[in-house]
Amino acid sequence: MFTGCSHAGVVNASRHAVELGGGAPLYAVVGGFHLADAPEEKLQRTLDDLKALEPKLLIPGHCTGWRFKFKIQQELAGFLVPCFSGNRYTLRSHPHML
């Protein structure tokens, strides 16, 4: 799922993407999560809700803020992929996902 600055909420947008995909698994959430100035409680709630959606990758953009990126790395090591303007990413199916 790709998002701009996710003002509607990254969890809401991700859930809607799963709904639009007919329940297909959420592979990655890419873009701005709009959490840079969010309180700690919202950060934890958002991460818990994203965990429940079971994405394989989280690729948060600049408006996500460093605190949420740090939280992802702490609680979901291996899921965080740095997001930089100009980078190219190749997403491939993995055998355990088929």
In the prediction, which pLDDT does 83 show?
86
Our count of domains for the chain comes to: 1
In the prediction, which pLDDT does 98 show?
46
Find out whether 68 and 33 touch, Cβ atoms under 8 Å: yes
Residue 88 lies in a domain: no
Residues 6+ apart with CB under 8 A from 7: 34
Residue 96 lies in a domain: no
Residue 89 lies in a domain: no
Tens of pLDDT along 60-74? 998 999 999 999 999
Domain that holds residue 61: 2-83
Region for 54 from its dihedrals, namely left if φ exceeds 0, alpha if ψ lies in -120 to 50, beta otherwise:
left
For the entire predicted model, the pTM comes to 0.86
- CA 71 from centroid of its chain's CA atoms: 12
Residue 52 lies in a domain: yes
